[in-house]
Every structure is written in structure tokens, then in C-alpha cells.
Amino acid sequence: MTQIILNGLFVGSFYALVALGYSMVYGVIKLLNFAHGDIYMLGAFVGLVILTAFPGLGAGATIPVLMLVLLISMLASGFVGVGIERVAYRPLRSAPRLAVLITAVGMSFTLEYGIRQIFGPSPQAYPLRVTGDPLPVFDAQLSSAQLVLMVVAALLMAGLGLYVDRTREGRAMRAIALDQRASTLMGIDVNRTISRVFFIGSALAGAGGVMAGAFYGSVDFLMGFTIGLKAFTAAVIGGIGSLYGAMIGGLILGLLESFGTTWVGGEWRDVFSFACLILFLTFRPTGVLGTRVVERM
């Protein structure tokens, strides 16, 4: 049982990192950014480019190199996210929701097949692997790689929580989420704040991509599609628009997948997870921490 829970929390930490971007963007401007999962993929490939360009990095101390590659990939992913918001979403901010949704899907395909044209359709081996001896945890085992990546994910999520709750910029984000027009009248730079939201959410997704590449050992141009759906599911389960709901939703989804794999088999894992999503939408449509809001026109 302990092993199942640990495996679920490990996978859930990846889902939570990506789900935070979905939830932040939706909470502020009510946009479902379906290109967000591909930012996760892009972050992994940025790390691949860095490690390939400097092959000596892979031979160095694993954790410092991982932190360096993680930081650079987060910055690159964040700026790409800001660029996407500026070019694809900002001009359509007053357009019908369907037009923005179609644009998001188009941006997702642009990122996927742009990477495919550059790196090819085959999976790419990741030069950096986080390895180590397993550590005993009660009656289970947790590899040192899993422990390191879970700690990094937890620190990133904790840092985001402090940033949103305790800083001036975080208060501006929360104000825009409540009322964008009133925030403008109060002197908040709405465009800059929204760009900051995209930067942070994209940076976290990029970090998740690097961590996945370092743990699983390979990356491909479609790796963001599945985790994008899973992260969106996690955001809905936790309560889309809620920061802490996205974190909780990611962990819940990871646990559901882990138990589903044990109970019904690995081939039924996704069926089990999405069936639970349907149950959540039926009996708790606002998610674990979500609240009912009045639709703003």
C-alpha cells in the first residue's frame, strides 16, 4: 500500500506542476490554454539542446547540473509562454471563447510539429539521468531520483504559493481574477500581470518536462499531449482556477492512476482516471477546492 501511495505522489507531482499553469491562466482570464502541455514538451527539448551542446555537463555532478538545466529551461519556457500570449491570445481577448479555443489548439499543433521538424519523429535519448540507490520508506522503497524530483517539485509549488499569497504581484493576479476592469481602474497593469502569469505557468511546465526527461530517459514531440490532458484533468478535479486545487488535483490524479494500475491493470489506468473525472464532474463539478462563480460577459 505504501509503495502504491509513493508512486502515485511521484507521478502526481508532475501533473500538479503542469496543472498549475492551466489553473493560473484560467483563474485570471478564463482561458483554457491547450498549448500548455506542449510547453512541458518544449522545456524538455530545451534541456536536451543544452545537454547536447555541452556534452561535458552530463558527466558532472547530477544534481547541480539538473538545477542549472532546470533554471535555463524554465526561463526559455517562460518567455515562449509570454510570446504565445502576446501573439496568439492577447489580440483575441475580447473575441468569442470558441475563437480563442481554436487558436489554443492551433498553437498546440504548431509547437508539436515544429519540434518534430527540428528533431524528427523518433524519441530522443536524454543525456542526463537522475539515478541512485533505493531508499527504504516503511515497507516500501523510494529511489533517490524520485525523492530528488519530488522535493524539487514541492519547492517550486511552495515558492509559487508564497509568491501569489505574499507579494504585490501576486495580489495583482488575484485582483484581476476577481474583476479585470476594476483592477485596471485601480492602476494595475493588466497586460503585464497576465504576461507574468503566462511566464510563471510556462516556466513550471518547462521544469516538469526537464524532470520527466531526466527520470524517464527519453523525450519525444508528442510527450506534452497526454500530460496536457492529465494536467487539465487534475486542474478540474482540484477546482480549475484554484492554485492549491491544482496541486491537490495533481496528487489525487496520481494516486488514482497508481491505485488503478494495481487494481485493474496498467492498460486500464487511463480509463480508470478519466472515469473518476466524469464522477467528479457529475457530483462535484467545481472540484475539490473550486467555488461557483457568476459568469462574466
Q: What is the pLDDT of residues 114-163, one digit of tens each?
A: 999 999 999 998 888 776 677 777 777 777 778 888 888 889 888 988 99
> Rounded distance, CA 243 to CA 106, Å?
26
Given this model, what pLDDT does residue 6 score?
A: 86
Given this model, what pLDDT does residue 293 score?
A: 53
Given this model, what pLDDT does residue 3 score?
A: 82
**What DSSP designation does 59 have?**
G
Given this model, what pLDDT does residue 92 score?
A: 87
**Contact call for residues 196 and 110 (beta carbons, < 8 A):** no
Query: How many CB atoms neighbour CB 4 within 10 A?
Result: 15
> Rounded distance, CA 212 to CA 122, Å?
17
Given this model, what pLDDT does residue 297 score?
A: 42
pTM for the whole structure:
0.88
Residues of the chain under the 50 pLDDT cut: 294-297
Q: Are strands 124-125 and 134-137 parallel, antiparallel or unpaired?
A: unpaired
Domain 2-283 has CATH 1.20.120: no
Question: What is the CB-side half-sphere exposure of residue 272 using CA atoms within 13 A?
Answer: 18
> Rounded distance, CA 152 to CA 130, Å?
13
Given this model, what pLDDT does residue 44 score?
A: 93
Can you read off the three cell numbers belonging to residue 205? 511546465
Please give the radius of gyration of the chain, using alpha carbons only, rounded to the nearest integer.
Answer: 19
